Amino acid sequence: MDMLFDFLSTTAFANMNGGNALMIIVGIVFVSLAIIKHYEPLLLLPIGFGCVLGNIPPIEGMSVGVYDEGSVLSYIYSGVSLGVFPPLIFLGIGAMTDFSTMISNPKLVLLGAAAQCGIFLTLIGAMYLGFSPNEAGAIGIIGGADGPTAIFLSSKLAPELLSSIAIAAYSYMALVPVIQPPVMKLLTSKKERLIRMPAPREVSKRERIIFPVAAFLICSMIVPGSITLIGMLFFGNLLKESGVTERLAETVRNALIDVVTVLLGLTVGASTQAQTFLTLDSMKIFGLGATAFAISTASGVIFAKLMNLFLKEKINPLLGAAGVSAVPDSARVVQHVGQKEDPGNFLLMHAMAPNVAGVIGSAVAAGVLWSALVK
């Protein structure tokens, strides 16, 4: 009988607290949203299940959780904590990205730059709320709307905040269709939303091959801190565009990115243990994350309007919102908002230009912050 009672005291039922129970419910909600509503299922399902997995209280002394040395989850989580998984995801993203629309209209690259304002203004906001410069830098990068970049930078600058930052970044990426449209409508007039963009020029194969090499050299020479992310992004793109490594490109944009996404999502979810996640700092991070997204959207739109003061051929300012690098969701939002005003206005391909430029911009911003803040 003693053995039975001893066993009962080691069960999760005996050791569960309110925080763990709440996080398990949050995890189940994420999984439900993924399956029923199809909200970013490739991310929310692994993260949600990981949330459930990470909040079952283990037996004391047993290495089970992501923070327990020697556990299986900790070995997988090291891909997150050491910043290995995000560059591998960027490799896959590069192999599935088409930079043609950006090459055909280079002035739209500047919208991708403008949308990174959210990162740096949020950094100031985070410092105002009491975070250290390193923590503020890691929180600010949420405004780049790039999950892998957010995880990479927080693993370097503020590993103790990694789980909160990762969950905030991926949650708000899923909420892009909710956050962006009100900001876009507030800052643009109906006349501006009706602007149609001219058809993009054709881009040759040579341009698409030379671009990743040259852009990598430019970005990494200016910001060496971006070598890892930018290098993997453009390497993946070169695998795709060269035409001679289709097998490798196929692998990295399918098998490799899928494997890494599963492992990253599951372990990031499992890292949201109530004891480390349900804190005042996490609430502040979530508040700052929403602000960062809104500021990034606003700054992209406002910059497009500023550019129009000097351009003969006007840009539809909605494209500025696509500078937020949640590819391709923010481009889809631009298409949707534009089509509400004019069903014949097809902005999606034009919006992909600032969208992919935003990916480059957020990776460069991460490199800048890492270089400036690393000890």
Partner 1 sequence: MGYSNIIEGRGVELSFAGLTIVFFALVAVSLFIRLLPVLLAALDKVLPSTPAETGVAQTTGPEDAEVAAIAFAIVEQRKRS
Query: Of these, 202, 310, 343, 344, which contacts partner 1 (CB under 8 A)?
Result: 202
> Any contact of residue 193 with partner 1 (CB under 8 A)?
no
> Any contact of residue 218 with partner 1 (CB under 8 A)?
yes
Cα 4 versus chain centre, distance = 48
Copy the structure tokens of residue 113. 């730059």
> Any contact of residue 223 with partner 1 (CB under 8 A)?
yes
Q: How far is the CB of 1 from partner 1 (least distance, A)?
A: 55
Nearer of residues 27 and 361 to partner 1, judged by Cβ? 361
The DSSP secondary structure of 86-101, one letter per residue, reads: HHHHHHHHHHH---HH
> Any contact of residue 227 with partner 1 (CB under 8 A)?
no
* Contact mark string toward partner 1, 286..325, x via CB under 8 A: ----------------------------------------
Query: Of these, 106, 182, 224, 287, which contacts partner 1 (CB under 8 A)?
Result: 106
3-state secondary structure of 130: coil
CB 65 within 8 A of CB 54: yes
Nearer of residues 101 and 164 to partner 1, judged by Cβ? 101
> Any contact of residue 43 with partner 1 (CB under 8 A)?
no
> Any contact of residue 249 with partner 1 (CB under 8 A)?
no
Here the contacts of 330-337 (C-beta below 8 Å, separation 24 or greater) are: 330/145, 330/176, 330/180, 330/297, 330/355, 330/358, 331/355, 332/177, 333/176, 333/177, 333/180, 333/181, 333/184, 334/184, 336/177, 336/181, 337/180, 337/181, 337/184, 337/185, 337/193
> Any contact of residue 150 with partner 1 (CB under 8 A)?
no
Nearer of residues 89 and 114 to partner 1, judged by Cβ? 114
Give the residue among 341, 346, 373, 318 at the shortest CA–CA distance from 111: 318
The DSSP secondary structure of 2-58, one letter per residue, reads: HHHHHHHHHSHHHH--HHHHHHHHHHHHHHHHHHHS-SSHHHHHHHHHHHHHHTS--
> Any contact of residue 206 with partner 1 (CB under 8 A)?
yes
> How many helices and strands (H and E) does the chain possess?
22, 0
Nearer of residues 215 and 268 to partner 1, judged by Cβ? 215
Query: Of these, 58, 175, 207, 341, which contacts partner 1 (CB under 8 A)?
Result: 207
160-189 residues in contact with partner 1 (CB under 8 A) are none
Nearer of residues 210 and 262 to partner 1, judged by Cβ? 210
> Any contact of residue 360 with partner 1 (CB under 8 A)?
yes
- Output Rg (C-alpha) for the chain, integer angstroms: 22
Nearer of residues 72 and 217 to partner 1, judged by Cβ? 217
Query: Of these, 55, 74, 81, 116, which contacts partner 1 (CB under 8 A)?
Result: 116
- Alpha-helical runs (H) found in 117-188: 117-128, 133-140, 147-157, 162-174, 176-187
> Any contact of residue 266 with partner 1 (CB under 8 A)?
no
Nearer of residues 15 and 104 to partner 1, judged by Cβ? 104
SS3 content of the chain, % helix, strand, coil (to 5): 75, 0, 25
Q: How far is the CB of 127 from partner 1 (least distance, A)?
A: 4
* Contact mark string toward partner 1, 328..357, x via CB under 8 A: -----------------------------x
Angstrom CA distances, 53 to 9, 56, 279, 300, stand at 20, 6, 19, 39
Q: How far is the CB of 113 from partner 1 (least distance, A)?
A: 4
d(CA 159, CA 271): 11
CB 169 within 8 A of CB 316: no
Straight-line distance from the first to the last Cα atom of the chain, in angstroms, rounded to the nearest whole number: 57
Nearer of residues 61 and 343 to partner 1, judged by Cβ? 343
Contact set with partner 1 (CB under 8 A): 98, 100, 102-103, 106-107, 109-110, 112-114, 116-117, 119-121, 123-124, 127-133, 136-137, 202-208, 210-211, 214-215, 218-219, 222-223, 357, 360-361, 364-365, 368-369, 372-373
